[in-house]
Structure formats: structure tokens, C-alpha cells
Structure 1
Amino acid sequence: MSLIEAKLRPAVEVWSGCVALGAAFIIYMMPNWFMMTESVAYLSAGLLLLLALVRFKESLEVVRYRKRLRRLPYYGMSSKEVPKYGDSLFFGRGFRWGQRHTQRLKDTMNPAVRHYIEDSSPYHWARDFERKHGKHWLIKLTRWNSPLNPVRPLPPIGGNRVLHAVGIDEEKDVFVAGSDRPGNTLVLGTTRQGKSRLAEILLLQDIHRNDGPVILFDPKSDAALLTRMYTAAKQAGREDEFYCFHLGFPEMSARYNAIANFSRITEIATRVSNQLSGEGNSAAFKEFSWRFINVVARALVAIGEKPDYNNILHYVTDIEPLFRRFADYWLPRNADLSWQADVNLFEEEAAIQYKKNPRMAKYQSPRTEALRRYVEGMEASDGVMHGLLGALRYDAEFYSKLVASLIPLLEKVTTGKIGKLLAPDYTDTDDDRAIFDWTQIIRQKGVIYIGLDALQDLEIASVVGNSMFSDLVSTSGTIYKHGYEAGLVGGEEGKLPKIYLHADELNELIGPEFLPMVNKAAGSGVILTGYTQARADLEAAYGDKAMSQVIEGNFNNLIMLRVRDKHTAELMTDQLPEVETTTVMQVSGATDSSNVDSEQDFTSSTQDRVSVVSGPMLDPSALMSLPKGQAFMLVNGGELYKIRIPLPEDDHVSIPETLRQMTEQMQRTYTTGEQWWRGL
């Protein structure tokens, strides 16, 4: 193998090919000129013809390589054309990046060969003409997107187009083995670079695999992503398992209670209070809020009522009704048979006292006073009852200060139609909107789109997203211990599912509950693919650089589209080895002769020196200059691939009327900028 490849040069092979072709023709036509017999002449002509073909092929490779440095071939496919394999995941077309491609990329930076890469003068003239004469008839010809047009415009994808061209001759479909997916995948890239399109490709395959639930968290609400997700579900025959939860369209959304399902009752308080600030003086208020929510949740569960945001807010604001309801439930099971008569007597006494001096009334109802007096006289040891009694003892003004941060949080998720969405009424037979929970989705192998409407209300989107993540972590913990078929008739104990979880705009979703999701939930079958823009997003979400590094360390696969800061690019480049590249140096010189008797006046020399230099396989600047729809992919313990994501081609699939109305409103309401490929 030659030490220097040198493809950025004139295709000199064509001249030797022409000579060999001409010689073959002459020998074949006039063998007597060369004093050859016919058999020898035909053999010689055949060998020369073969040599000509080889040289023409070599020259064609050089020309094609130079041509593709300026323009890559179009690459797109419909959802039906996306490869679907049970044990592999398709990402696009590309090649494995190695030392040769680092060398080729370095060669393109040589000023002597820039004319092979830069656009021609006619191309620049055509673009200048279009800018100056916007309505001229000639513009239709200059913009004609055909190979016959020598000045046709380049697709508006920007970036350094040679990054993929240096390996275009090795391009093939790139797959990742299914055994590598449980290690989690992190996709980084700034806005409008193709993260959503990549998500579509991965979601489509996960849906068609049909071996587990597929969950998408989409904070920014991309209508095209929702439509294509439903399209894939319909093509896979899973449209009956499709759910759509959207905070922006509660009247058309499926319903969900983020705190109704739990393995331990304390999880309810944790999910709600995790949304509160725990820094500085706020830590004490957060701990009190947790304790008080826990008391309310335990009481509700004890009396047979499912906790939700609405009833927690109601009883956080006014604890008396819950105390009375719990006491009426608890006393028949723990008090003497005469408790009702005693409580009625105490109630009459309290009512008389309240009537005489209303200012001395501690509670809104005399019955609360009677029940409290009776229960305290019992000296009961029940933890829930003690918690409720403790809450009753707080002064109203002091208590309001303790829950000052909790009540606004609960009001955010219980106001208007969203309150009914997050606290569904299971007894309302007139509401035909579906109600789901994670256990149901996992057992049913459902396909669910979760739109959090973060563009309109980031605060509520963060609260709901974190609660849903926390609920999913809890469900994963139960599955890890017992399997997802535990409790079903004929269910298999310990059987684990595959849960394909895709989280777009990951930084808007993560909270304290995310760490166990990313580093422990894989044991229960969760396969996480997270999408965000930069490393700084994770740091900002946690407020702690060390914690964000822990999160990064739990993603074994890394895909990086164009990023805007060096710190993010170094997440990939720092994991790559150094490689040796060659540099050709031309050295020339002349030396005068000092010998006056010699006929030689001077000596000259010209040399080409090849030096080997060690350097990084990939520089951060390469990741910061990627064209749209292109990415580097680091998988399987250090294999680096350069890929192109296929552009989408329309699939005409009918969607339900409700979903169609939702997507039309989303297109009018949200401008996400993710449809950058339009018009390419």
C-alpha cells in the first residue's frame, strides 16, 4: 500500500489509458507492423485493453472523488423503505472513520488543492445573478435541479461538505447491534440539524419491531413527528395501541394520573416535592412539604381513594375534611363501640362553645374538634392519624408559610382543563378519552406520544415530565423485582420487557429521578435514547457539573450532529485515539561552487520529504462544521462512524380526525424549525 494516497490531483491515469487503448487498437488492426503473429497480436491487444480499462477506472475514481467533494448524491427514503431488522438498528448510510479519512480531511486543507473543492466561477456568477435579478427568466435555468445544469444550486445544508465526501466510496448502511442498545444512546446537536429526523428513523424501527412499548417524550411538540409516529404504528398494525398525551390539547388528549401508581406510598410525596427548590433556606420547606404530602397520600390510600393532584391540593389547602373522613374510616376499626356517642357528645359541646365565642373556634366544624378530642384521648399509635393530628395543630398563618411554595406548584397542574387531564375522573362515563398508566402501556406494548407543550408553558411541562419520568422509574423498579406479567392469570414471574424510551429535549425532562432511570432502569428492560443540544444543557438542568458528568458516563453510545461549542464536541473527540498522518514537504536549494578550476558553477537539488505526524483522529472543529442531517457516531466501545441521515419522503397515510385536528393546530401554533429539509 502506498504511503501517500493523493486523490486531489489531475486524473493523469487517463493519458496512460488512452495510450494503452491506442496501442491495443493498432496492434489488433495491423499486427504485421510489429512482426507479430495473429495469436500474439490478439493476446497483446487484449492485455493492453485490460490495462486501459484499469487506468480509466482509476482515473474515474479520482474524478468522482473530486466531484463528490463539491456535491454529495441525494439520499432520502420513505418510512416503508427504512430497513427493519429485529436484532439491528439502522441509522443511515455512512462508513467507519479511520486514519485514512483523517488523512484525506487534512489533505483538503492544503491551499494548493482548494480549486478541487471550491465552487467554480460560473457557479458564483449564477448565484450573484439570482440575487441581482430576482424575476429574470434565466433564473429558472440557473436553479434547475438537474445534473445537466452545471451551475445548479447546492442544497442549503451548510457545513463542511467534504467531511462525508472523504469516505463516500465506502458508504453503506450503518447498523448498531441490538445487544448494544441497552447501554443507552445520547444524541447531541444544535437546533435544526436533524435530531427529530433521526428520532423518526429510530422510532419507526422500534415500532415495527413490535417486541415492547415505544414511548416518546416531546417537549416542543413536533406535529410531523407525531404524524410519522402514528403512520409507523398503522403500518405495523399497532394503531389500536397508539396513545397521544398532549398538554397543549387536553380536550383531545388521553388522560394520565402521574401519582396514582406506586410501589411505595412515599413515592407520591417524592414525585411532587422533587419539583420544589431544595437549595438554601428552601430545603426545610421542601422537607415539610414532603412530609405533609406523604400524610395526605397515606390517608387517601387508606380510605380507598386514588391520590391525584386535585385532591392533594384540596387537602393541602384544607386538611380538616380529610381528617374527618379518615377518622370516620379509622375509628370503627380501632375504637370502642361507643365511639359515635362520645364523639356526638363532644361535638355538641364544641358547637355550644363555638356559638358562644366564635373567635375561640379553632376549626371550621365542631365535629373536627370532637374527633380530635376523642382520638387524642385514645393515645393511638397509628402513623397516619398522628400525622393528620400534627397538621391540625399548626397555626393557620404559620402553616400557610410552610406550604407557600407547594400550593402554587399544585395549582399549576390543576388549573382548567389540564387539571382534568392529570386527575382523570374514572367514574365519568361521558368522557371517552382514554386513561393510561405505565403498567398498562408496558403490558399492552403500547405506542405513546407525550407532548409537553414546553414552548407555551415550560414550568408545567417540566413538572409533568419529571412526574411521568419518576412514575416510569417506579414502575421499572417493580418490573425489575417481579417482571411485568406478575399478577396476571398465567403470567410469567420475572419476565422482563423491552421498553423503548425516546426523550427529546432531555434537559427539560431530567430531575433527581433521572439518574436511576439512566443507570439502573436498563435492568428492567428500559432502552433509553436521549436527545439534547449541548453538554451545558445537562449541567444547567442539574446545576452541578459533576452530576452531569455522571449522566454522560451512563450513555454508552454517542451520536453527535453539528454542535456550537467546543466543550460539547470534546465529549466525543476526547474518547478517540491519536493517529499518524503524513505530510509532504518540498525542499529545493542551490549551492555555489568555490572551486575556480571546476567547470561546475553550482549544484541544485529538489526533494519531496514525507514526514509522519501524530494527531487526533477527529478535531472538535469537524463536529462544529457538520452539514445538516449528518453526524458522527461512537458506538460499541469506540467504533467511530460518519453517517448521513436519510431525508424523509412523504407517506400518504390517513390519520384519525381527532389526531388530524391536533396536528393541524400544532403546525399553526408551534414553529419548531425541525422541517429544515423542505425544499432540498
Structure 2
Amino acid sequence: MSNRYVIEALLRPAVELNTAVVAGMAAYVCVQAPWAVALAPSVSYVTASGFAVLSVVRARQGMKIIRYRRNLARLRRYVMSARQIPVSRQRLFLGRGFRWTQKHTQRLQDTLRPEVAKYLHPGRLYQAARWLEMRTEHSVPALGKLLRTDSPLNPVRPLPPVGGNPVLHGIELDEQDVWLALLERVGHTIVYGTTRVGKTRLAELLVTQDIRRGEVTIVFDPKGDADLMKRVWAEAHRASRGDALYIFHLGWPEISARYNAVGRFGRVSEVASRVAGQLSGEGNSAAFREFAWRFVNIIARALVALGERPDYSLIMRYVNNIADLYIRYAEKVIREQMPSLQAQIQNNQQVLGDDDVPRNMQGQPDAVRIWSIEVALSSEEGKQLYDSILDGLRSAVRYDRTYFDKIVASLLPLLEKLTTGKTAELLAPDYLDMSDSRPIFDWEQIIRKKAVVYIGLDALSDSEVASAVGNSMFADLVSVAGHIYKHGIHAGLPGEGESKVPINLHCDEFNELMGDEFIPLINKGGGAGMQVTAYTQTSSDIEARIGNAAKTAQVQGNFNNLIMLRVRENRTAELLTTQLPKVEIYTKTLVSGHQDTDINAGQDFTSNTQDRVGTVKVPLLEPADVVTLPKGQAFAFLEGGQLWKIRMPLPAGDADDVLMPESIAQIAEEMRRNYHSGEAWWNDAPAIVPAGGEHG
């Protein structure tokens, strides 16, 4: 086999082995019986050496043909345990693979020729074994078990259940480890892949490395996948970071950390944005959404002015009873700024009755008291008192109750979902309840502490609550990113001098989490160290969530690195293939013909047969190639245009991994033992001011 020819011929019989055998026999004869070839012994040894070298060269060339054909039908097994995953401070390990070039497009096209089909499929012995296994499934189960044994000693063992087209990776014999420079991660990475093709395995691979590097690692898992949660738990403890691990899980509230999605903000108006942002803003709903924003903003401003931290429960309470908040705040402002009005209010309460209250305000709790305050504030003396928050509350309580219920009709169901049952304890934590040992965290604390956070949103049980909580967390992260960008991580507090640290966000099924908050996170969060790795199934999932093709393109355009596993939608596959150049591949055309000749020339006809080699331009990769990827394999478009074909390692049995819990119940039991309150948190973390107790 020579590499000098234009067309590489690898799918053919290994004829080089014939030459190797003959040359080997000739070398043997020259050494053992030089007289048989009429050579003197001194000359025959030199001749034998030449034949031996030729035999070795041809044997290697023939074995390459055989290995190539075998690789197309069955890839070499690639297994790696969690402890074997390599970790680098400069690069991110993605798996094993090769750089895809014109050569691989050529080889892939060669596999489509009908005459080479026999080299791509298992032989008759394999097919007979599968037939025998099926026929003896009930009568002789032991035979079927023997035929299914996954061992190199079993020549007919079944192919791995990965489906797809195995030749996509088998066309290259020389694999290497594939790495992504960590400096490229700040450009964000998106992973596409349909259900059950390896997205979670890839997430485990990347999360494991981030945890072991000691970086901030935040995993958003809408489904609440138990295996992913256990992996985060095991790797945090393997890296001796168990004391910096937080687990927030809506499906397991008894072991979950607590988080106030609206308790931390740079501007108080962010509270209203996070709550109203969950409401529909399309069509006629836009007006109701704007009113809900204004109403929640009034409540949040009043709570902050009263020295209380907003949370979903308080907002729900005062949406249902704005009169109570109005009375509290009005009395506070009057007491501090114009105490002379207090006597007038008390006198009004004694004089006025229910019939004196305007019809639009009747039916409210403490209507007489509210009207007494209103009369006092409307007097000549009261008009001198101006407070923007008080004016907002006054306008709210003047609404007719029936009308008011209609315009907050879309807000109340959302708040009820977020404040019902044990979910309320997680999203509206009581900071003064020392009997509850579950930690309370916020993102600023997490980033300063370089902690590991797993967020399980249990979307299968209640997708709307999961989406609302996820969006609120993203909005909070955007606010924290803006704060870090302006002031650094420590913002003047004592501690290390780092202005920013890598913040790794792994967002599984991120189309279920994203809203308008996600766009600025990936668009501008890189300046604060945010590194987003998003996992989803198709580009249509993003568009269905956002409802706008232009915004979908905006989101996808902010991801510099693209990893695509098997997808079932051509439009998604074209996100990769349309970015690749066209290449020239060689085609071979067989031309055969004959021609009659003059009978006087002594010939009846002439004939000729030709192999013509030409070139044709084809895409480097077709969408059909992405659609037929086996499980656990992917194309990766990295570092501004480099196309890699990779495969992730299969997980080795972790039965001997003492750090891997057998079930979530085991995690729950250990967390209950390790939870403790934080009366002396300052002794352990002098540079950190947590928003709650010590974690477990």
C-alpha cells in the first residue's frame, strides 16, 4: 500500500498480507536452505534480510487495513472511572477524538459505496450468534448469556447499544485527548443533543473537572436528576469541598438549603422585575404585567423602608391585603415626619363610620381606619407631607376591590404556587428561626466562598414553579454579575485581592429556565467571570420558550463553543454544518466501452476500460451525519472554527467508589447529621458575610 496515490484505498482486501507471507517464506528459505536458490551463504543472509524487511513493511500495511475495517464495525472500548478523569489548570478535558478534516470527509464518502458494504457490517458468524441467542432465550438461557458476554474473548459479543452510524468515529485510527482552553470558556458553550444520547454524561465530565479545580460551580438541573446530584455530591467530597457544598432541591425540601430569590438586590426595583418577569408579556397581557410590576414595586419599596427583607410570602401577604401595609407605613411616616397628624387621625376614627367610607374602598379590612388616615393626609396640614412610597400605597388602596382583583389575577396564581406547602419554607426563609438548621445562601456569598451548588427544580412535578424559581435565580445572578463587574468580588471587604474568579454555570435543559434574564447573563456576564455551559435538545426549544426568532438567534450567537450530540431536527444540525466550509473530495468513475473496426485491419473491434479520477465540492459535514451520531459521541466546534469529532468515556462501574452514595436517601441522612447552625460562622470564614447559618 502506498500513500503516493491520489485516492486512499482502505476498504478492500488486505492483499499486502499475501506479499508479507511470500516474503517471509523467501527469507526463511534463504536462511535455512541457501543452496535451494543457488546462493552462497554470505549472499543469502543479505537477501534474507531484504525479504524480512519487506515482509514486516507489508505486514504492517496489511494490518492497518484490517484494523481500519475492524474499527468501522466496532470501536475500541473507552471506559473511564470518575477518579481517572484528568484535570488541568489550563484546559478542559472533553474526551477522545480527532480533528475533522477533508481526509475524513473523503473516507466517510467512501463508506457509502455499495461494494464496500461487506466491510461495514458484522459477518455471518455474528448474525448466527444473534439468531441463536434469540431462539434459545427461553429454552437455553445459559447459552444466550454466554453469547452476550462482553469480553474480548467472545468473538461474537453484541455491539454496544449506542445506535447511530459507527463509521463516523471509526474512520480515524489515531485518537487523541481533546481539550478546550479554559480561556475560551468565558465565551460560553452550548451543548445540543436529543433525549438519552449523553448530555448528562458530558455534564458530569465537565462538572467533575470544575469542582476539582476549586472553582465556583453551579449546576441547574430542572429535572432534579438523581445521578447528577449524586455525582456533584461525590465529587465535592472527593475534592475535600464537602463543607462548601449547597444542595437546593424543590423535590426534597427537608434536606434542601434555603434561598430567598428576591431578598438580595442592588436596586429595590429588581424585586418587582424578578416577580413580574414570570408573567406573560404578550398581547393584552402586557398591560396586566406592567401593573403587576408597579404593584410589587410599591410593596417592595415599603417593606425595605420598614426595615424588612422582601420575600415571596410577604409579597403574597400584601398583594392580598395592601391595606395592612398602607396602615403600617403611613403610621411610621406620620410618626417620624408629622406627628401632629396622629391626633387628627384618632379623632377621625371616632367620628367616621362605615357609611362615610367611599364605595370604592368599602369591603377592605380596617376601611374606617384607612379613610381616617386619608382624610388627615388630605387636610391642609397633611398636604405638606410628601412621600413617594406613601403616595404609591395611597393610590393602591383607592382601587375598587373587584377591579383590583381582576388586574392582579395573573399575579396571584404565580405567588400562590411559590408560597404553598414546603416550597414556601425554601423560598421565603425565616432568618430568625434558629431551630431550622438548613442553611440560607445567596449568590454573592457562594461566589466569595467558591462554593459548589446543585439546584434541583423538580420540573417534572411542577414545571411552572421550576421555571419561576429558575428565572428568579438567573435574574439574581445577573444582578450579582453587575455588582462584581463594578466593585469586584469582595467589594471593599477584607479578603483576597481577586477582582473576579471563574463562575461556572451548568444549565441542563436550559430552555426551561431561560427568560429575558438569561440574555444579559450570557451577553455581558463574561466580564464578571461567568462561564455558562448550557444543555438543550433543539434550537426550536429555545424559540418556543422565548417566542421570538430574533431573540433566539441572539441567544445562540452568544455561545462561542458548540458541542453537538445526536439531534433529531435538521435545523438544529444546520447550526453546525452551515458554519463549515466546503471541501474537494476525489471521485472515481469507471468508463468502459468498445468500438467496431474496419474488417480489412484484421480486427473485429477495440475496447478500453478506464478509471477516471475527478474532484467535486461537498460540505465538510452534512446534517445527516449529525442526525446519525451514536450515543456518547459529538461534533465539537471549538476555538473559533476548529471541528473536532469526540466521544465521551463510558462510565466505569463505581461500585467501589466509597464516596458515591447509593441513593438520595443516603445523602439526606448524612446532611441531617451534618447540618448545624452558625452561631460562630465568623470563626471559619472571616472574609465572608453569609446570609444565614453555616452550611451542611
Structure 1 pair 349–155 and aligned structure 2 pair: CA distance change class (3 A) = same
Structure 1 pair 663–125 and aligned structure 2 pair: CA distance change class (3 A) = farther
d(CA) in 1 for partners of 2:13, 2:356: 108
2:192–2:537 Cα contact (<8 Å) kept:
yes
1:14: which partner in 2? 17
Structure 1 pair 26–657 and aligned structure 2 pair: CA distance change class (3 A) = closer
Give the Å deviation of 1:662. 6.1
d(CA) in 2 for partners of 1:2, 1:506: 49
Query: Which of 547, 550, 561 is the aligned partner of 2:551?
Result: 547
> Does 1:209 pair with 2:204?
no
d(CA) in 1 for partners of 2:151, 2:363: 85
2:296–2:315 Cα contact (<8 Å) kept:
yes
d(CA) in 1 for partners of 2:377, 2:241: 55
1:344: which partner in 2? 346
Query: Which of 161, 165, 169 is the aligned partner of 1:160?
Result: 165
Query: Which of 246, 251, 272 is the aligned partner of 1:248?
Result: 251
> Does 1:512 pair with 2:513?
no
> Does 1:119 pair with 2:118?
no
2:492: which partner in 1? 487
Per-residue CA deviation, residues 571-618 of structure 1 (Å, 9 max, x unaligned), is 10001110111111111111111x222211111111111111110011
Within a 5 Å distance, the mapping from 1:440-589 to structure 2 comes to 440-490=445-495, 492=497, 495-589=499-593
d(CA) in 2 for partners of 1:225, 1:528: 17
Per-residue CA deviation, residues 10-43 of structure 1 (Å, 9 max, x unaligned), is 0011111122222222223344555655554333
d(CA) in 2 for partners of 1:302, 1:175: 52
2:223–2:460 Cα contact (<8 Å) kept:
yes
2:231–2:660 Cα contact (<8 Å) kept:
no
d(CA) in 1 for partners of 2:30, 2:457: 77
d(CA) in 2 for partners of 1:245, 1:583: 58
Structure 1 pair 304–487 and aligned structure 2 pair: CA distance change class (3 A) = farther
Query: Which of 162, 184, 191 is the aligned partner of 1:187?
Result: 191
d(CA) in 1 for partners of 2:130, 2:164: 18
d(CA) in 2 for partners of 1:77, 1:238: 23
d(CA) in 1 for partners of 2:538, 2:662: 37
Query: Which of 397, 400, 407 is the aligned partner of 2:412?
Result: 407
Identity %: 50
1:678: which partner in 2? none
Query: Which of 404, 412, 424 is the aligned partner of 1:419?
Result: 424
2:369: which partner in 1? 367
Q: Secondary structure at the match of 1:261?
A: coil
Query: Which of 223, 229, 235 is the aligned partner of 1:232?
Result: 235
Give the Å deviation of 1:650. 3.4
Query: Which of 37, 57, 62 is the aligned partner of 1:59?
Result: 62
d(CA) in 2 for partners of 1:375, 1:417: 42
2:238–2:659 Cα contact (<8 Å) kept:
no
2:354: which partner in 1? 354
d(CA) in 2 for partners of 1:642, 1:625: 13
Q: Which moved more, 1:58-67 or 1:321-330?
A: 321-330
d(CA) in 2 for partners of 1:196, 1:58: 40
1:569–1:624 Cα contact (<8 Å) kept:
yes
Structure 1 pair 122–22 and aligned structure 2 pair: CA distance change class (3 A) = closer
2:615: which partner in 1? 612
1:76: which partner in 2? 79
Report the residue type matching 1:367 in the other structure: R
1:213–1:441 Cα contact (<8 Å) kept:
yes
d(CA) in 2 for partners of 1:315, 1:252: 29
2:331: which partner in 1? 328
Structure 1 pair 264–657 and aligned structure 2 pair: CA distance change class (3 A) = farther
Report the residue type matching 2:354 in the other structure: Y
Give the Å deviation of 1:44. 3.0
Structure 1 pair 93–511 and aligned structure 2 pair: CA distance change class (3 A) = same
1:3: which partner in 2? 6
Query: Which of 645, 648, 654 is the aligned partner of 2:648?
Result: 645
Give the Å deviation of 1:557. 0.5
Q: What runs of 5+ residues in structure 2 fail to find an aligned partner?
A: 670-696
1:484–1:496 Cα contact (<8 Å) kept:
yes
1:226–1:663 Cα contact (<8 Å) kept:
no
The two structures, once aligned, show a CA RMSD in angstroms of: 1.9
d(CA) in 1 for partners of 2:177, 2:220: 28
d(CA) in 1 for partners of 2:241, 2:495: 24
d(CA) in 2 for partners of 1:105, 1:174: 21
Per-residue CA deviation, residues 119-177 of structure 1 (Å, 9 max, x unaligned), is 2122222222222331214323322222332321111111101110001x121110001
Q: Secondary structure at the match of 1:597?
A: helix
d(CA) in 2 for partners of 1:546, 1:356: 55
d(CA) in 2 for partners of 1:59, 1:348: 107
Q: Secondary structure at the match of 2:133?
A: helix
Give the Å deviation of 1:301. 0.5
Per-residue CA deviation, residues 83-117 of structure 1 (Å, 9 max, x unaligned), is 10011000111111111111111111100010001
Structure 1 pair 458–50 and aligned structure 2 pair: CA distance change class (3 A) = same
Q: Secondary structure at the match of 2:29?
A: helix
d(CA) in 1 for partners of 2:659, 2:331: 54
Q: Secondary structure at the match of 2:576?
A: helix
d(CA) in 1 for partners of 2:42, 2:488: 78
Give the Å deviation of 1:329. 2.3
2:694: which partner in 1? none
d(CA) in 2 for partners of 1:123, 1:474: 60
1:363–1:369 Cα contact (<8 Å) kept:
no
Q: Secondary structure at the match of 1:250?
A: coil
Structure 1 pair 598–581 and aligned structure 2 pair: CA distance change class (3 A) = same
d(CA) in 2 for partners of 1:263, 1:650: 47
Q: Secondary structure at the match of 1:69?
A: helix
d(CA) in 2 for partners of 1:67, 1:567: 33
Report the residue type matching 1:59 in the other structure: G
Q: Secondary structure at the match of 1:3?
A: coil
Q: Secondary structure at the match of 2:283?
A: coil
Query: Which of 606, 621, 625 is the aligned partner of 1:622?
Result: 625
1:223–1:663 Cα contact (<8 Å) kept:
no
2:175: which partner in 1? 171
Q: Secondary structure at the match of 1:591?
A: strand
Give the Å deviation of 1:567. 0.7
Q: Secondary structure at the match of 1:388?
A: helix
d(CA) in 2 for partners of 1:574, 1:231: 40
Give the Å deviation of 1:191. 0.3
1:319–1:392 Cα contact (<8 Å) kept:
yes
Q: What runs of 5+ residues in structure 1 fail to find an aligned partner?
A: 665-680
d(CA) in 2 for partners of 1:661, 1:373: 62
d(CA) in 1 for partners of 2:355, 2:606: 123
1:635: which partner in 2? 638
Report the residue type matching 1:385 in the other structure: L
2:246–2:451 Cα contact (<8 Å) kept:
yes
Q: Which moved more, 1:143-152 or 1:306-315?
A: 143-152
State the TM-score, normalized to the length of structure 2: 0.91
d(CA) in 2 for partners of 1:72, 1:615: 26
d(CA) in 2 for partners of 1:658, 1:101: 44
Report the residue type matching 2:452 in the other structure: V
2:237–2:659 Cα contact (<8 Å) kept:
no
Q: Secondary structure at the match of 1:448?
A: strand
Residue-pair matches, total = 657
d(CA) in 2 for partners of 1:488, 1:451: 31
